[in-house]
Amino acid sequence: MNDASDFATRAAAFWRERGGRMTPVREVLCRAIVSSEKAFVAEELLERARKLDRGISCASVYRALSDLVDAGLLREIRGERDQRSFVAAGLPQAPVGHVVCSDCRRVIPLEDECVPLREAAMLKRMGFAAGGMHLRIEASCESMKRCGTCENQAASTGTE
């Protein structure tokens, strides 16, 4: 099963459990989410989804995002000016975490295959088994201190 259909299948099961169903709008939103290679904000999802279906409303996007976070299919990341960004959880392209620049508040993906191994080993020593993991780090930008500008603003692959 590919990532898009697996994500949509899990989302449909969640909505069914709550007495809902997989509507055509929700299906389009699931496809648009899976096609994202970086963290996105609701407005970016709306724009991407409207390329597939012009009739999708902003309210539908916000309701679906809330539901998918509740379902554990999306992770929410607080970024610039406390703006909510989202990333699909558990997909191969999903980063293991994000760095939020405390100077410019940009969300930058953290891609390091060693992080889950290190954290899982630490959890095991503490008597836990990791059921899922996402690391969020707030960090100050060294270039801001040196040069007065944040290099992460230009290099950010998160919210823009």
pLDDT along the chain (160 residues), means of 10: 78 95 95 85 94 94 96 82 78 68 76 80 87 76 79 51
Please check whether residue 105 lies inside any domain of the structure: yes
Please check whether residue 128 lies inside any domain of the structure: yes
Domain span including residue 64: 3-155
Please check whether residue 71 lies inside any domain of the structure: yes
**Known binder of ligand: residue 101?**
yes
Per-residue model confidence (pLDDT) at position 106: 73
**pTM, entire model:** 0.66
Q: CA 22 to CA 36: how far, in whole Å?
A: 20
Please check whether residue 113 lies inside any domain of the structure: yes
Please check whether residue 62 lies inside any domain of the structure: yes
Number of domains in the chain: 1
Per-residue model confidence (pLDDT) at position 93: 56
Per-residue model confidence (pLDDT) at position 39: 79
Q: What is the DSSP letter of 126?
A: T
Q: CA 96 to CA 132: how far, in whole Å?
A: 10
Per-residue model confidence (pLDDT) at position 157: 41
**Known binder of ligand: residue 141?**
yes
Kindly list the distances between the CA atom of residue 86 and the CA atoms of 43, 62, 119, 124, in Å, as whole numbers in the listed order.
11, 11, 22, 28
Q: For 85-129, how does the pLDDT look when each residue is reduced to its tens digit (9 = 90+)?
A: 888 886 555 667 778 887 777 777 777 778 778 888 888 899 988
Please check whether residue 14 lies inside any domain of the structure: yes
Per-residue model confidence (pLDDT) at position 1: 43
Q: CA 27 to CA 22: how far, in whole Å?
A: 6
Q: What is the CATH number of the domain that holds 80?
A: 1.10.10.10
Please check whether residue 23 lies inside any domain of the structure: yes
Please check whether residue 160 lies inside any domain of the structure: no
